[in-house]
Amino acid sequence: MAKNFKFNLLKKKGESLLSDVGLFFNPYAKYIIIITQLLVLSVFFIKIVLDQSIIDLKEAIDQKNQIILASQTMTQSNNLLLDKIQQTDSILRNIDESYKLISTTLGNIPQSVTINRISLQDQKLILFGQTYEPEDIQKLQKRLEKKLQKKIKLQKIEKEANLYYFEIFVAQ
């Protein structure tokens, strides 16, 4: 009982280089796949971390821009308030100077002099008054020059009957 076997012991021609490389890397393929997956995962993780840091930076910039916008309106309102405070301070100083001027002037008027009218404009005081003695006008002028340390000008003096009507100008 003889069986027929066909063996071909001759080498096949034409095996390609690609199949040789495939046969060589076949036992290492699982390691190559695992290393490739680790590389892909690490790149993906780095990309996620970088994207998150970019998003955080954008949010921080947006918050800082919002703070700048809010502070600009506050700064503008503070500047307006400062201007109003300075204007008010200037007005109060002018009123205080006017009050001191009037108070000092009225406190140094002799009893023999009668003041009919006082005019105050732009820190300039004009007294309209009357007296029976012209020396009293001179006394008033000298007293005011001494107390106020300002130039006192007798602008007008008129005599009607026994009364002397005068106008004294107090300048800065």
Say yes or no to pLDDT of 13 above 80: no
Q: pLDDT, tens digit, for every residue of 42-91?
A: 999 999 999 999 999 999 999 999 999 989 989 999 999 999 999 999 99
User: Final residue of a domain: which of 92, 107, 122?
Assistant: 107
User: Final residue of a domain: which of 54, 84, 107?
Assistant: 107
Domain shared by 140 and 61, yes or no: no
Dist CA 133 CA 140 (whole Å): 11
User: Final residue of a domain: which of 107, 131, 162?
Assistant: 107
Higher pLDDT, 10 or 54: 54
In a domain, 90, yes or no: yes
Say yes or no to pLDDT of 11 above 70: no
Looking at the 3D structure of the chain, how many domains does it have? 2
Range of the domain at 149: 110-170
Domain shared by 23 and 64, yes or no: yes
The pTM score is: 0.55
